[in-house]
Amino acid sequence: MKEVIGRCPVCGEKMVVTRMECPQCGTAIEGKFELCKFCYLSKEQRELLEVFIKTRGNIREMEKELNLSYPTIRNKLDNLIAALGYEVERRPTVDKKEILQKLESGEISVQEALKLLKD
């Protein structure tokens, strides 16, 4: 049996199901049925979600399984979160060189530098 596609291959809009049928008894229902939000994800996004669940959300394990870097996986997860309709929290990027320069010049303590690098 073929998999239901969630997006129109011509224009990219969301598809709707208009007929469902039981393969066992032949009962059919017609109407307009909306697919679940996971059906609208791309194949790549669904595969990432599957690995996320399989690894219980452990990004280090995802790195090993997908052979991708931590930042790449984080970026893909952010895209997946947005595709599901949730707002993605954008963290400000840490400028490690700037923190190390401040540490070297004495502007911040070692503890402050470690905290900044950890965040």
Tokens of 58: 């452990």
Note the pLDDT of residue 24.
95
Predicted confidence (pLDDT) per residue in 5-55, tens digit: 899 999 999 999 999 999 999 999 999 999 999 999 999 999 999 999 999
Alpha carbon 91 to its chain centroid, in Å, reads 16
Nearest to 76 by CA among 94, 38, 49, 36: 49
- Structure confidence at residue 92 (pLDDT): 66
Q: How many C-beta neighbours within 10 Å does residue 73 have?
A: 19
Supply φ then ψ for residue 30, to 5 degrees: -120, 150
Does the global pTM surpass 0.85? no
- The residue behind tokens 């923190």 is 99
DSSP 34: E
pLDDT at 55: 96
Domain boundaries, the chain: 1-40, 41-83, 94-119
Tell me, what's the pLDDT at 119? 64
